[in-house]
């Protein structure tokens, strides 16, 4: 059991909680929160996968010389991908919230049951 296992477990648990929330909640805002939780969990998993034993942030400064960077830095690629994932997650969440506002304007409720007979 290492720090990576603990962080990975946290991330996966967050993803499961998010999926559970998306599938069982009837309120659109709670479904969106479930989606955001799932996204956060996946970001944590991505970053945890990039960890290298006893690694530090891949930033060259007085604490990390260029010569031993390759031996002591963590994998920078998952971190770079996590930045991308966070931005896209924010974008998707924003669009979902906008749709939720429009749905609320149409039926004056945010319960998903009110939209059960919606046609495509």
Partner 1 sequence: MRLAAVVWLLLCLGTVFATVALNFRLRTSLPPLAEAYVEMVPRELGAPNVITGILLTYRAFDTIGEVAVLFMVAAGIGLLLGAGSKTDHVSELQREEPEPSTEIVRTGADIMVPLIALFAIYIMAHGHLGPGGGFQGGAVIASCVLLVLLAKPDYRVKLAQLSVTESLAGVLIVLVGVAGLVFAGGFLDSRVLPAGEFGALVSAGAIPVLSVLLGAKVGCELSVIIERFRA
Residue with Cβ nearer partner 1 (77 or 119) = 77
- The closest alpha carbon to 37, from 7, 10, 74, 70, belongs to 10
Q: Which residues bind partner 1 (CB under 8 A)?
A: 2, 4-5, 8-9, 12, 15-16, 19-20, 23-24, 49-53, 57-61, 66, 69-71, 73, 75-77, 79-80, 83-84, 86-88, 91, 94-95, 97-99, 101-102, 104-105, 108
Show contacts of 83-87: CB within 8 Å, 24+ apart.
Answer: 85/39, 85/42, 85/43, 85/46, 86/39, 86/43
Minimal distance, residue 23 CB to partner 1, in Å: 5
Minimal distance, residue 117 CB to partner 1, in Å: 17
Distance CA 16, CA 115 (A): 26
């Amino acid at each position: 059991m290492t720090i990576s296992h603990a962080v990975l477990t946290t991330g996966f648990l967050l993803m499961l909680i998010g999926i559970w929330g998306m599938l069982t909640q009837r309120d659109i805002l709670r479904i969106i929160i479930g989606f955001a939780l799932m996204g956060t969990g996946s970001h944590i998993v991505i970053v945890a996968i990039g960890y290298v034993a006893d690694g530090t942030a891949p930033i060259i400064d007085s604490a990390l010389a260029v010569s031993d960077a390759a031996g002591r830095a963590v994998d920078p690629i998952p971190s770079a991908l996590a930045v991308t994932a966070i931005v896209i997650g924010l974008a998707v969440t924003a669009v979902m919230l906008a749709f939720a506002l429009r749905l609320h304007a149409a039926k004056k409720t945010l319960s998903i049951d009110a939209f059960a007979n919606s046609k495509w």
